[in-house]
Amino acid sequence: MTEAPTLTDREALARHRARACTLPDHDAAMFLHRLALTDIQERLTLVNRVFTAPAVVSAFPEIWQNLRLDALQVTDDEVLALSPGAHDLVIHAMTLHWSNDPLGQLVQCRRALRPDGLFIAVLPGGRSLHELRSALAEAEARVTGGLSPRVVPMGEIRDLGGLMQRAGFALPVADSLQQVVEYGSFPALLADLRASGETNALAGRLRRFSGRSVLAEAGAIYAESFATDTGRLPATVELVFLTGWAPHDSQQQPLRPGSAKSRLADALGVPEAPLPKDG
């Protein structure tokens, strides 16, 4: 059996995150984490449930401990430090896009839930940083004549919802929130990514610093292609939220095909007409 290719260099990712925490603008650069945190807090207020054993999977517990002070904080290792059936709420917070096995992460979270426990994941989706991805690719092709992985690939909402079903969650739902952040310059955007620990940690990345000519060209392309009327540079971020429950007999179940006892026409109050025959 052929092993799946490794997406993320976990050692490089750890270094980038550790460096980010030392930078003076780290706290300001974590605004997306706080946005995701606030959204999940609001979602939990709509759930008619008192959670007594929550857990949060994150890389920055100093932020995510604000979700619930009593929550177990777990790092996003490939094997999560979650005990089977120990939790009634598990949150996977802004790290799933760096996982080498996102389906495996979801399965581990489901197994950590008690029956009828709730799971919520939030992560950047496929529209995130599309401007940066386009500018970097075009710049590298112009300057070097080749391409290398520079921005982590992010899943589309439909595919991510499919992973929830494959992981065995009941009543899975996927939805998204899109934000556009404006920067005064291309270096300011790159500095924000560095301060939030989101710089290139792909296993297939170039193992040398990008030449100044590539970054200068990327900045020029970015400004030419995407700048606003006031000269600012927009960066799109799509936050995808995945929600599901550990299966339980009390949950709603789909009816068997053909088991309906009422006609759709009666429910709609319209006459029923046969379909026309071919020909």
pLDDT tens, position by position, 228-259: 999 999 999 999 999 999 997 776 665 565 55
Average pLDDT across the chain, whole number:
90
Q: pLDDT at position 71, please?
A: 97
pLDDT reported for residue 8: 93
The single-letter DSSP state of residue 243 is E
Q: What are phi and psi of 109, to 5 degrees?
A: -65, -40
Confidence of residue 115 (pLDDT cuts 50, 70, 90): very high
Q: Where are the domains of the chain?
A: 10-249
Cβ neighbours around 256 below 10 Å, total? 7
Predicted confidence at residue 250, as pLDDT, reads 74
- Residues of the chain with pLDDT > 90: what percent? 76
Per-residue pLDDT at 247: 93
At 113, phi and psi to the nearest 5? -85, 145
Do residues 78 and 93 touch, judged by C-beta distance below 8 A?
Answer: no
Task: Report which of residues 268 and 2 the model is more confident about.
Answer: 268
Q: Is the pLDDT of residue 81 over 80?
A: yes
Give tens-digit pLDDT for 151-201.
Answer: 888 889 999 999 999 999 999 999 999 999 999 999 999 999 999 999 999
Fold category of 10-249 in CATH? Rossmann fold (3.40.50)
pLDDT at residue 211 in the model:
75
Residue 115 or residue 276, greater confidence? 115
pLDDT at 275: 65
DSSP-derived 3-state class of residue 136: helix
List Cα–Cα distances, 22 to 17, 164, 200, 207, in angstroms.
Answer: 9, 35, 18, 23
Burial state string for 158-169 with b = 16 or more CB within 10 A and e = fewer than 16:
eebbebbeebeb
Contact predicate 129/151, CB 8 Å: yes
pLDDT at residue 143 greater than cutoff 80:
yes
User: Which two structure tokens, joined as six digits, stand for 93?
Assistant: 């917070």
CA pair distance 208, 108, nearest whole angstrom: 35
Place of tokens 């760096």: 98
pTM strictly above 0.75: yes
The torsion angles phi and psi of 220, rounded to 5 degrees, stand at -65, -40
CB 40 within 8 A of CB 240: no
